[in-house]
Amino acid sequence: MKHKLLQRTSFTLGFLLCSSIAFTQRLLTDTNYIQQFSKTNVIEIYPGIYSTRFDFTQFRQRKYDYSLVANSSAHISTNLNYKWLSLKYSWAMPGTQLDKNVKLQYTSLGLNVGIKQMRFHPFYESYNGLLIPKLKREDSFKIFRGIQYTDAGFDYYFFTNTKLFSFSAARSFSINQVKSAGSVFLLATPAWQKINWKDPSRNLIPDSSTFNLLSQNPEWISLIARAGYTYNFIFQKGRWIIAPAVVTGAGLQKEINIHGSKLQPITNLQAWLNAGYNGPDYYFYLHAWWNNLKTNLLIKNMSQVNTNFSITAGYRFHNFRRKILGLL
C-alpha cells in the first residue's frame, strides 16, 4: 500500500510538471514593467525572528487541548551572491530564546531554483526538542527533550503573468519592476513528516490521547495543491515596492506506519508581505510570513502555525576586474 501511494504521488507530480511545461508560453518580458539592474552581485544582512507552534485537538472540536512550541529565538543571517557563488550563514542571538535556560536544535535547509514561470523550492526542517507551554503562565515552559519533528519536501510554483510581473522583485528585490502588476500562481507541495519520541513518558504528557499519538511515532506523506495571488504595488518607478500575497489550498495525507490507515484531508493557508526600497545600489525591505497547516491524523488533529519576521539590508556591486582564484 505504501509503494502504491508513492507511485500515485509521483505520477500526479509528473503529470502536473509535464502539463505546466506543455502549456507554458514563451512570453517576452515587457521592459516597460520589468528591468534588470546593472549590478547583479549582492551582499546582504537580515536579522529576524521565527515562531513555530503545534496545536492538537480532538476530532470535531475547535478548541486546542494541547500545544508544543519551538524554542524560538531572534537570529542574524548574512548572504553573499557573486556570479555563480552563493554563501549564507545564520546564527541565533543569545538570550532571545523563549526558554533561555535550554538549548534545543533547529535545522532549516532550502534551495530556490527555476525560470520565469516555474520555481522549485526543496526544503528540510527539523526540530530536535520542543517546549510545553504551561497553561497558567504564558512565559513559562516545560522542556520536552527527546522528541524530534522532521518535515521534508519541495514547493513547485507556476506563475501565469511573467510578462508583466516579477516574482524575483517581490521575493528578493533582485529585479527592478517599474510598474504595478500582479499574477495568479499555482503551488504544489509533496512532503514527508515524522514525529519521533525516543523515550515516551506519561509523566510528561498527562493527556492520554496526545500521549498515544506521539508515542507511536506518527509518520505521514502528503500532497497539497494551492492557488494564490500576488501583486507588486510600485511607487516612484520601482524605488518602493509593497508585495503582498495570499495562498490557500487543500490536499490528501496518509499515515504510512499504521496498517489500514486511510487518506485524510489536509488544508493550508499562507500569507506573506514584502515591503521596502529597491534602489540600483542598495535596498532594504521588511518580510512577514504566516503559515497555517492543518493535518488530520488517526488519533488527533494537528495544526502547525509558523510565523517569520525579518528586515533585509542589501548592497549591489559589479564583478571584480580580476578573477578570484581564476574561478570567479
What percent of the chain is predicted at pLDDT more than 70? 89
Residue 257 scores a pLDDT above 60: yes
140 neighbors 134 (Cβ within 8 angstroms): yes
pTM over 0.75: yes
pLDDT, average across residues 60-79 = 86
49 neighbors 72 (Cβ within 8 angstroms): yes
115 neighbors 156 (Cβ within 8 angstroms): no
pLDDT of residue 22: 46
Cell numbers found for residue 178 = 517599474
Q: What's the CA gap between 214 and 25, in Å, rounded? A: 47
Residue 321 scores a pLDDT above 90: no
**Record: fold of 2-317:** Lipocalin (2.40.128)
Which H helix or E strand runs over 169? helix 167-172
Beta strands in the chain (DSSP E): 34-35, 41-57, 66-69, 74-82, 85-92, 105-110, 113-114, 118-133, 141-159, 176-177, 181-197, 219-235, 240-255, 264-278, 282-296, 301-317
Cell numbers found for residue 92 = 541565533
Q: What is the pLDDT of residues 181-237, one digit of tens each?
A: 999 999 999 999 999 999 898 888 888 888 988 999 999 999 999 999 999 999 999
pLDDT of residue 23: 47
What does pLDDT average to over the chain?
A: 88
pLDDT, average across residues 122-137 = 87
Domain ranges of the chain: 2-317
